[in-house]
Amino acid sequence: MAEMEPVIGLEIHAQLNTATKLFCSCPTEAVLDATAPADSPPEDRPNSRVCEVCTGQPGALPRTNARAVELAATAGLALGCRVNEYSVFSRKNYFYPDLPAGFQTSQLDPPICEGGGLAITDGEGREKRIRLNRIHLEDDAGKCVHDDQRGRTLVDLNRAGTPLIEIVTEPDFRSSGEVMEFLKKLHNILVHLEVTKGRLEEGEFRCDVNISLRPRGVEKLGTRSEIKNLNSFRHAGQAIEYEIVRQGGLYDQGATLVQETRLFDPARQETRSLRSKEDAHDYRYFPQPDLPPVHVSPGALARLKAAMPELPEQAEARLLALGLTEEQAAVFLDRRGAVAYFDQARPLLGDDRRLAALMVELLLPACQRDGLSPLECRVPPAALAALGKLMADNTLSRRAAYDLFPELFEKGGDPGELARSKGVLQISDTGAISDMAAEIIAANPGEARKYREGQEKILSFFVGQLMKKSKGAANPKLAGEVLSKLLKS
């Protein structure tokens, strides 16, 4: 049997970060009960956040949430898609108890965004672009709660009508590693842009994996299975590995595969068949007559583009160009607010590498420990820049600066004053050092002669004397320079 190659395409659902649902003003999150004690978590009583629209009652008129449209367009801009000026909502008809209207409101043709892509690194370390097919807006369904003990099923519609985007890729992946890298990167971008809160455990970012095998070199796609609702990057990878083996085994036996929908069971590390797959026409899509087309005007699109923050990849490239190491850049991107802090402190210190080192070695670990963004802590950019300046002009040794930092972080204030009050400032005043140097040379004529006769090593004796005389406060480098100059004269 020819060697088989996996072909994988993804459909990713991301819950949009809006306060209200896609077509009504019901909240997307549990609301705090005003009568509950202040510290109690918001209780999400079933069917407490519903109205006639999100429960699909006849005659109720939906209205499109403008913020959801903006967030979908922002995602499209970030991923290099074409954002359509007009797109259309369609009804995707099917029956399920948690879908009271009898249809999901989704977009078939045209969707809000088309094309685009995202680059990842493939197995051989080469850059590989994953093409996107489309991004469309749709609403989420409710939830069936099965009560096995009493043998009944309850329906909770709190989630019904929550805005989602579905991102559909082309079948461009060839391994589980590529899929996991793509998912992490996509998640990173959408969370960074605040398009989604992206809480995986809440199902706010979940994906369906479509996977088939084909003999290497053959163009035509094989029969796929679709593994639904994976809300962990690792599980997505594990489900793919399992499917490669399962489908490969069937081909080896000469079996014919059927297109089907499967579920992954993390406990057993296997996928199981749920149903054979419906084709798109089974849904009888038709334009939703209750909603006007989604409109993103050129002006609105330009405003969204202008308001878009730097993407993680652009920030990384910029940090590397400023001389940061890859490790430092990775730490910066991993910590909320680090890049913004860095950008504010840069002009104040004027030494990007020193600033990055201070942040990575001192500031960010302390913030991490206390769960703070650097811009929220007691060391504002100006104070860290001041600390860096004291080090740059040798007024504060690196050692002293690092010793001082925990107190600065805890109490705030001016680093110069703190250093002075601790008596750890170095004497970098050439005049003061010269006076001491002259006295020491006068008191040690024998050693001075030896130095002049060529025993240059004796300089360290003089530096030691000067450090002693200054009670350790002199800047040793400067002391050496001044002493050697005086000894030679």
Give me the phi and psi of 90, to 5 degrees please.
-125, 160
Query: Which of the choices ligand ADP, Mg ion, Zn ion, none does residue 170 contact, using the CB cut-off of 5 to 8 A by kind?
Result: ligand ADP
Residue nearest Mg ion (C-beta atom): 11
Q: How far is the CB of 168 from Mg ion (least distance, A)?
A: 8
Contact between 224 and ligand ADP (CB under 6 A)?
yes
CB of 195 closer than 8 Å to CB of 224:
no
Q: How far is the CB of 119 from ligand ADP (least distance, A)?
A: 17
| Residue 254 to residue 244: CA distance in whole angstroms | 15
Q: How far is the CB of 168 from ligand ADP (least distance, A)?
A: 5
The neighbour count for residue 352, using CB atoms within 10 Å, is 16
Q: How far is the CB of 100 from Zn ion (least distance, A)?
A: 12
Interface residue with ligand ADP among 4, 9, 448, 458 (CB under 6 A) is 9
| Residue 205 to residue 222: CA distance in whole angstroms | 27
Q: What one-letter code names the amino acid at 447?
A: E
Tell me how many degrees the CA angle 154-157-163 measures, rounded to the nearest 5.
Answer: 145
Query: Which of the choices Zn ion, Mg ion, ligand ADP, none does residue 159 contact, using the CB cut-off of 5 to 8 A by kind?
Result: none
Contact between 312 and ligand ADP (CB under 6 A)?
no
Residue 103 structure tokens: 């249809």
Residues touching ligand ADP: how many (CB under 6 A)? 17
Query: Which of the choices Mg ion, Zn ion, ligand ADP, none does residue 134 contact, using the CB cut-off of 5 to 8 A by kind?
Result: none
Interface residue with ligand ADP among 90, 158, 210, 232 (CB under 6 A) is 210
CB-neighbour burial class of residue 417 (10 A; exposed 0-12, middle 13-18, buried 19+): exposed
Interface residue with ligand ADP among 30, 155, 168, 263 (CB under 6 A) is 168
Interface residue with Zn ion among 4, 14, 16, 54 (CB under 5 A) is 54
Query: DSSP E strands: which ranges in 140-187?
Result: 143-147, 152-156, 163-169
Contact between 418 and Zn ion (CB under 5 A)?
no
DSSP state of 194: T
In order, the DSSP letters of 349-401 are H--HHHHHHHIIIIIHHHHHHHT--GGGSSS-HHHHHHHHHHHHTTSS-HHHH
Q: What one-letter code names the amino acid at 284?
A: R
Q: How far is the CB of 250 from ligand ADP (least distance, A)?
A: 15
Query: Which of the choices Mg ion, Zn ion, ligand ADP, none does residue 10 contact, using the CB cut-off of 5 to 8 A by kind?
Result: ligand ADP
Query: Which of the choices Mg ion, ligand ADP, Zn ion, none does residue 270 contact, using the CB cut-off of 5 to 8 A by kind?
Result: none
Stretch that binds ligand ADP, among 204-212, 416-424, 440-448, 475-483 (CB under 6 A): 204-212
Contact between 397 and ligand ADP (CB under 6 A)?
no
CB of 17 closer than 8 Å to CB of 195:
yes
The neighbour count for residue 52, using CB atoms within 10 Å, is 12
Residue 238 CA, chain-centre distance (Å), reads 23
Contact between 193 and Zn ion (CB under 5 A)?
no
What residues between 230 and 289 interact with ligand ADP by CB under 6 A? 280
Stretch that binds ligand ADP, among 165-173, 182-190, 356-364, 375-383 (CB under 6 A): 165-173
Stretch that binds Mg ion, among 4-12, 20-28, 52-60, 309-317 (CB under 5 A): 4-12
Residue with Cβ nearer Zn ion (23 or 173): 23
Residue with Cβ nearer ligand ADP (107 or 169): 169
CA dihedral 62, 66, 68, 69 (to 10 degrees): 100
Q: How far is the CB of 106 from ligand ADP (least distance, A)?
A: 10
Give residues with Cβ within 8 angstroms of 248, minimum separation 6: 4, 213
C-alpha to C-alpha distances, 111 to 312, 364, 401, 414, nearest whole angstrom: 26, 42, 56, 55
Contact between 111 and ligand ADP (CB under 6 A)?
no
Interface residue with Zn ion among 12, 26, 165, 441 (CB under 5 A) is 26
DSSP H or E run through 242: helix 233-252
CB of 355 closer than 8 Å to CB of 347:
no
Q: How far is the CB of 293 from ligand ADP (least distance, A)?
A: 22
Query: Which of the choices Mg ion, Zn ion, ligand ADP, none does residue 230 contact, using the CB cut-off of 5 to 8 A by kind?
Result: none
Residues that bind Mg ion (CB under 5 A): 11
Binding-site ranges for Zn ion (CB under 5 A): 24, 26, 51, 53-54
- Footprint of ligand ADP on this chain (CB under 6 A)? 7-11, 168-171, 210-212, 221-222, 224, 226, 280
